[in-house]
Amino acid sequence: MKNRLRFLTHMPYEITLLSNMISLDLSGNEMSLHLLYSTTTKLAQNMTRLEELHLDYVDLSSPLPKSIANLSSLISLSLSGCNLYGEFLQNIFHLPKIQAIDVSFNNNISGFLPINFRSDSKLKLPSSVKNLSRLSFLDLGSNNFNGQLPSALFELPSLQYLDLGFNQYRGPLTIPNVLFSSQLTNLYLYSNKLTQKIPRSIFEMKKGDELNLSENDLSGTIEMSMFSKLSQLRALYLSDNNLSVVRNTITNFTLIFKMNYLGLASCNITEFPKFLKTQIELKLLDLSNNKIEGKIPKWFFCIGVETLDSLDMSANFITGWEQELKVLPWKVLQTLDLSHSRFRVTFLFLCCVPTNFMVQYGIQRNYFTNWSAINTITPSGDKSRSMNMDEDEVSYYQESIFKICIRSDLIMIGYPILLDRLGLDRSVGIGSDDFLHTLNFQGEIPKSLGDLRSLIALNLSSNNFEGYIPLSVENLKLLESLDLSKNKLFGRIPQELATLTFLAYLNLSNNNLLG
């Protein structure tokens, strides 16, 4: 049996003397474990039989000892997020048995700025990298490697996983026409400065499962039929290039395979892509920042009914739904972004949200005419999901009916998350100068507003609300600020406002109120 050690806190120096060590894993200690340079050096000098060395997120804060490049038995080397600096050891690429290399997320390597391998780094992949016949996993992501992407990488016969994302590679993407026989399944080239057209060899990557080319300067016209040979493709990201994804010239073309993740933001799309009709297993769909016009077609609601988690159609010219729905069809949807569009529907569409999940609505720069969602949500049981939110993005409703946080560009509706899970205090609420004012809401303020008993600030100013101020405001016992100015409210000012003992700011000006 191989000798394996996994430490939670501290590795004594004496362990470096264990010359028969074959596998050493100190990863996952989130910088709570620190190895001195002398310790790392001794480790590499004595453990000459090492086959696996995993130091992910161990704080090395030193150059990488040159002796590591002499570990001729090494099969797997993982040094992600180790605070390395100094000259990176190119000889690591010459290790005869190496199968997996991960040097992602390091800082100050070669003495440059916080992201390792800065753009002025001299580090290039050696041309001999193509001799690494056993290498199956290579992650150099988030490092700012520079220069032209070496085509030799794509000739590695065993390579399955290649992440060169978030670097500074420039120039055309040159890939030899060998991918039809390649073992490559995961290819991540996002966030570089790659130019010109996507090479045709990409469309021959028959074993491809995930392909991410987003955030480059790639250009040209793309038809989805080009990916028809990638029958195993589950994730495709082409967003934020200079590409144009156009209607397929092949009549009645459909993608036979089912994707889970599809990113087509900023792809100059002018209509809802009809190839999506067969994509019933999508979990994420990003069509944002395109030129899609008109209403969302009926068939679109059959996409990912059981699976869709995130849908972004913001920054288009979408005007509404082709068919009004009683309930949105997506059963596990958490994020829906329709901001920067031309919707001309009432806010009643919020009541179409199923009540067993959290939904984020982007609504900035749309044309909404009503706000009546509050008294239409009728949850049945607490099925809240955890979310990572800043303090100013959260509203907590103490009575466990629902939670709503509304800003000029954001609506979140769902069940409350316990304050202790969020690390927040009772000062969180709805309303500020950036929240509900100037959104052109019309109609009456719903009586169920009074159910939001944890509100501390509410700003509905500069809208077109009319009718009476609901008497239910007396239930907002924690309210400190209330601004209903510049609306069309009439009737008497409720005496119940006098019971709000925490109220410090009240603005009811520019209405038709009596009292």
pLDDT above 60 (res 199): yes
Structure confidence at residue 454 as a pLDDT band (50, 70, 90): confident
Quote the pLDDT of residue 249: 66
Quote the pLDDT of residue 427: 28
More confident of the two residues 305 and 3: 305
Residue 79, domain member (yes or no): yes
pLDDT digits (tens, 9 = 90+) for 90-148: 788 888 999 999 989 886 664 222 222 233 334 444 444 545 789 999 998 888 777 78
> Rounded mean pLDDT of 225-234?
93
pLDDT above 80 (res 415): no
pLDDT digits (tens, 9 = 90+) for 360-407: 444 444 544 444 333 333 333 333 222 232 333 333 222 222 223 332
Quote the pLDDT of residue 372: 37
Residue 93, domain member (yes or no): yes
Residue 411, domain member (yes or no): no
pLDDT above 70 (res 353): no
More confident of the two residues 424 and 315: 315
Q: Distance (Å, rounded) from C-alpha 265 to C-alpha 213? A: 12
Residue 213, domain member (yes or no): no
pLDDT above 80 (res 236): yes
Q: Of 48, 74, 99, which one is at a domain's C-terminal end?
A: 99
pLDDT above 80 (res 455): no
Name the nearest CA neighbour of 151 among 125, 120, 116: 125
pLDDT above 60 (res 432): no
Taking CA atoms, 379 is separated from 332, 354, 403, in Å, by 15, 9, 11
Quote the pLDDT of residue 346: 43
Task: For the beta carbon of residue 180, count every other beta carbon within 10 angstroms.
Answer: 12
Beta strands in 372-409 (DSSP E): 403-407
Q: What are phi and psi of 172, to 5 degrees?
A: -70, 150
Residue 506, domain member (yes or no): yes
As for how many domains the chain has, the answer is: 2
Structure confidence at residue 515 as a pLDDT band (50, 70, 90): low
Could you tell me which residues are beta bridge partners of residue 221?
244
Contacts made by residues 487-494, CB under 8 angstroms, sequence distance 24+:
487/460, 487/461, 487/462, 487/463, 487/511, 488/464, 488/512, 489/445, 489/465, 489/513, 490/466, 490/514, 491/467, 492/468, 493/469, 494/469
Q: Of 70, 99, 128, which one is at a domain's C-terminal end?
A: 99
pLDDT digits (tens, 9 = 90+) for 64-76: 888 898 899 999 9
Residues of the chain above pLDDT 70, percent: 71
Please say whether the beta carbons of 134 and 141 come within 8 A: no
Residue 147, domain member (yes or no): no
Q: Distance (Å, rounded) from C-alpha 78 to C-alpha 55? A: 6
- Tell me if residue 286 falls in helix, strand or coil: strand
- Residue span of the structural domain in which 506 resides: 445-514
More confident of the two residues 178 and 383: 178
pLDDT digits (tens, 9 = 90+) for 464-507: 889 999 998 899 888 888 888 889 999 998 888 889 999 888 88
Name the nearest CA neighbour of 47 among 76, 82, 29, 23: 23
Overall pTM > 0.85: no
> What's the mean per-residue pLDDT of the chain?
75
| 317-331, 407-421, 445-459 — most confident range | 317-331
Task: For the beta carbon of residue 492, count every other beta carbon within 10 angstroms.
Answer: 10
pLDDT digits (tens, 9 = 90+) for 24-72: 998 887 667 888 888 899 999 999 999 999 999 998 888 888 889 889 9
pLDDT digits (tens, 9 = 90+) for 247-275: 766 656 677 889 999 999 999 999 999 99
Q: Of 43, 71, 99, which one is at a domain's C-terminal end?
A: 99
Quote the pLDDT of residue 385: 29
Q: Distance (Å, rounded) from C-alpha 84 to C-alpha 61? A: 5
Structure confidence at residue 198 as a pLDDT band (50, 70, 90): very high
Quote the pLDDT of residue 332: 86
Helix (H) or strand (E) segment spanning residue 43: helix 37-46
Q: Which two tokens stand for residue 70?
A: 């002499």
Length of the chain: 515
Taking CA atoms, 153 is separated from 47, 93, 156, 161, 199, in Å, by 30, 12, 6, 11, 15
Q: Which two tokens stand for residue 282?
A: 């999508």
Structure confidence at residue 5 as a pLDDT band (50, 70, 90): low
Residue 22, domain member (yes or no): yes
Name the nearest CA neighbour of 164 among 204, 129, 114: 129
pLDDT above 90 (res 457): no
CATH of the domain at 490: 3.80.10.10
Quote the pLDDT of residue 129: 52
Residue 131, domain member (yes or no): no
Q: Distance (Å, rounded) from C-alpha 272 to C-alpha 290? A: 10
